[in-house]
Amino acid sequence: MRSDSQRLAGKIAAVTGGASGIGRAICEAFGAQGAAVHLLDIDGEAAGAAAETMRRDASARGGPTVAVTVHRCDVSEPDDVELAFRRILEAGPVDILVNNAGIAHVGTVETTTPEELDRLYRVNVRSVHLCTRAVVGAMKERSSGVILNMASVAASAGVAERFAYSMTKGAILAMTYSVARDYAGHGVRCVSISPARIHTPFVDGYLSAHYPGREAEMFERLSATQPIGRMGTPQEVAELALYLCSDEAGFATGMDYPLDGGFLRLHG
């Protein structure tokens, strides 16, 4: 087994939606463990700032330099994905792909418009197809690679007013199982993580927009939906992602891993 600081040494990882929240935490964890990270995000400015923070923090720790490359990319657009991954693959083969980019939505089947449904599909589902398609052939040729998809407890449980979002995360699970089955014999692993509520900037923004003046109250109410009594942190998701994408998890494929504070099995 490698020393703890070298778990991903020599690996090249591409992480979508890497500028904030869970994606940023994954980029930071992978970079700290020796991976060369390609950070993809639609917000190029935020992505650049995240990369600079990663480098500065590594320098402050006195550790090795963090290798992180930023790619401004709308992962729902085929041309953007093709260009980004052409550049990435020119630099070296992708060992790890983390399909993390996604958007949320609140609404029932009645209140969700066709346009909203299409947008959720493009960002949350089509992006996984495009990015996976861009790397899996080369992984197959090398008989090596890991694809990690970010699903959600909403894929497996009925969450109120999350019709379109739940649809997309259910698709993530189905794609995870399908890719794992098709490529298990070619040395390529595919797994997913299903978080419950994670305290990210999105949560704070959502509460400010929908519950002005009641943010603290609603934060506690949302936290209490997890039997453990709190939301998870992006770093906790990143630690699981680090394990699943490391060589130590070489026997793991075709599985979804809930990280939910007991939400699926202990709720109610």
User: Annotated active-site positions, please?
Assistant: 165
* Distance between CA atoms of residues 123 and 16, nearest Å: 11
Would you tell me the crossing angle of helices 215-223 and 201-210 to the nearest 10 degrees?
Answer: 130
Cα distance between residue 209 and residue 47, in whole Å: 24
Structure tokens belonging to residue 234 = 């992006």
Strand, helix or coil for residue 138: helix
Is 13 in contact with 30 (CB distance < 8 Å)?
Answer: yes
The residues near 259 (Cβ < 8 Å, ≥ 6 apart) are 193, 194, 195, 196, 232, 236, 237, 240
Residue indicated by tokens 């009925």: 158
CA neighbor of 29 nearest in space, from 246, 248, 261: 246
